[in-house]
A = this chain, B = another copy of it.
């Protein structure tokens, strides 16, 4: 492995949704890399458009800020990366149909290490802000769409996920191992996951698995909205639409068996 590249990428990884802006000095403290070295990295990234330093007003003058942000190049690469996921283009038409059926946000999630990664989203017309956004991560133990993925992984994967430190995102986030195991079992048995206020207060979502040609579950699809839009008693209506959609997408991926769940 190239140490230089590794350090470089690790620096980029520090730019998160929570802290998207860093000064050289802050990075020096965080990474223990000496300032001259960091400076060289940041300059290289900035010259290549991977990082950017916005202009700011300072006494009527427009000067380069000493804050670094992720740059335009990454937006471009991110779009190409998202487009390189085979399932995405296959799934989008079905996701749109599902969106129109219920007028709820529809999400497509991929398994990535111990997280679920949102790779596509069809917005609801209702101007509701949800946690979900393309490019966001959620740990596999929290939220319906993540957890339904976990339900279909090996015991080793499940242990790996549960061994990592966990976080209580909202009032509904499961926090005991026992509770999470029970929810994982529920998913495998019933073919869906249901979550209330797990990642964001007041948000409900229902998720079902998508099967690959080799019968693994690497993707899931979910609908989500505020609590009043997805009442428990209508769950069978929603599941019918979700399973139908998941069956169609699975078939497109080359899954050759009948979809194993139905209302």
Give the interface of A toward B (CB within 8 A). 1-2, 4-6, 8-10, 12-13, 15-17, 20-21, 40-41, 43-45, 47-50, 54, 57, 62, 69-84, 86, 93, 96, 110, 112-113, 117, 119, 123, 127, 133-137, 213-214
Contact yes or no, B112 A84, CB < 8 A: no
A80 and B17 contact, Cβ closer than 8 Å, known pairs A62-B214, A75-B119: yes
Cα A6 to Cα B44 in complex, Å, equals 7
A80 and B16 contact, Cβ closer than 8 Å, known pairs A75-B134, A112-B72, A117-B75: yes
Residue of B nearest to A119 (CB): B75
- A44: which B residues are within 8 A, CB to CB? 1-2, 5-6, 9
Chain B nearest CB from A17 CB (Å) reads 6
Contact yes or no, B80 A79, CB < 8 A: no
Partner of A117, one of B50, B76, B82: B76
Contact yes or no, A74 B72, CB < 8 A: no
Central interface residue in A6, A77, A134, A214, by most chain B CB within 10 Å: A77
Contact yes or no, B137 A76, CB < 8 A: yes
Contact yes or no, A127 B96, CB < 8 A: yes
A78 and B82 contact, Cβ closer than 8 Å, known pairs A4-B5, A8-B5, A72-B117: yes
Contact yes or no, A48 B9, CB < 8 A: yes
Contact yes or no, A50 B15, CB < 8 A: no
Residue of B nearest to A60 (CB): B214
A79 and B134 contact, Cβ closer than 8 Å, known pairs A48-B9, A49-B112, A96-B127: yes
Chain B nearest CB from A206 CB (Å) reads 23
- A16: which B residues are within 8 A, CB to CB? 80
- A57: which B residues are within 8 A, CB to CB? 213-214
Contact yes or no, B81 A74, CB < 8 A: yes
Cα A130 to Cα B16 in complex, Å, equals 31
